[in-house]
Amino acid sequence: MANYPAQVSIREVGPRDGLQNESVWVPTEQKIELINALANTGLKRIEAVSFVHPKAIPQMRDAAEVVAGIERAPGVSYSAIVPNAAGANRAVAAGMDEVEIFMSASESHNRKNVRMAVAESLGAAQQVARILGEAKMPFDAVISTAFGCPYEGDVPVERVMWVAEKLLELSPKPVRITLGDTTGMANPRLVDRIVGEFQDKFPDVTLSLHFHNTRGSGLANVLAGLQRGVTYFDSSLGGLGGCPYAPGATGNITTEDLVNMLHDMGIQTGIDLEKLLECARLAQSFVGHELPSQVLKAGPRTRLTPFH
Q: What is the mean pLDDT of the chain?
A: 94
Q: Flag whether 98 is in a domain.
A: yes
Q: Flag whether 222 is in a domain.
A: yes
Q: What share of the chain is helix, strand, coil (3-state, %, to 5)?
A: 45, 15, 40
Q: Could you give the dihedral angle defined by the CA atoms of residues 271, 45, 37 and 58, in that order, rounded to the nearest 10 degrees?
A: -140
Whether 242 has a pLDDT exceeding 80, the answer reads: no
Whether 39 has a pLDDT exceeding 70, the answer reads: yes
Q: Flag whether 22 is in a domain.
A: yes
**What does the pLDDT read at residue 112?**
85
Across residues 11-15, what is the average pLDDT?
97
Whether 186 has a pLDDT exceeding 60, the answer reads: yes
C-beta separation of 181 from 147 below 8 A: yes
Residue 173 bridge partners (DSSP): none
C-alpha 252 chain-centroid distance: 8
Q: Flag whether 303 is in a domain.
A: no
Residue 210 bridge partners (DSSP): 180, 234
**What does the pLDDT read at residue 182?**
87
Q: Flag whether 304 is in a domain.
A: no
User: Band of the pLDDT at 246, cuts 50, 70, 90?
Assistant: low
User: Band of the pLDDT at 21, cuts 50, 70, 90?
Assistant: confident
Question: What's the domain count of the chain?
Answer: 1
Q: Please report, as a single letter, which amino acid is at residue 247.
A: P
Which of 27-30's residues contact partners 24+ apart within 8 Å by CB, and which partners? Answer: 28/62, 28/65, 28/66, 28/69, 29/69, 30/286
Residue 279 designated active-site: no
Q: Flag whether 157 is in a domain.
A: yes
Q: Flag whether 136 is in a domain.
A: yes
Whether 245 has a pLDDT exceeding 90, the answer reads: no
Q: Which of 18-27, 154-163, 195-204, 218-227 has the lowest mean pLDDT?
A: 18-27
**What does the pLDDT read at residue 250?**
66
Across residues 34-52, what is the average pLDDT?
98
> Which CATH number does the domain housing residue 16 bear?
3.20.20.70
Report percent pLDDT > 90 for the chain: 81
C-beta separation of 211 from 236 below 8 A: no
What distance in Å separates the CA atoms of residue 269 and residue 167, rounded to the nearest whole number?
A: 28
Across residues 116-137, what is the average pLDDT?
94
20 DSSP assignment: G
Across residues 27-34, what is the average pLDDT?
98
**What does the pLDDT read at residue 247?**
55
C-beta separation of 76 from 39 below 8 A: yes
Whether 306 has a pLDDT exceeding 90, the answer reads: no
Among residues 13, 19, 222, 243, the one annotated as catalytic is 243
Q: Domain limits at 215?
A: 11-293
Q: Flag whether 181 is in a domain.
A: yes
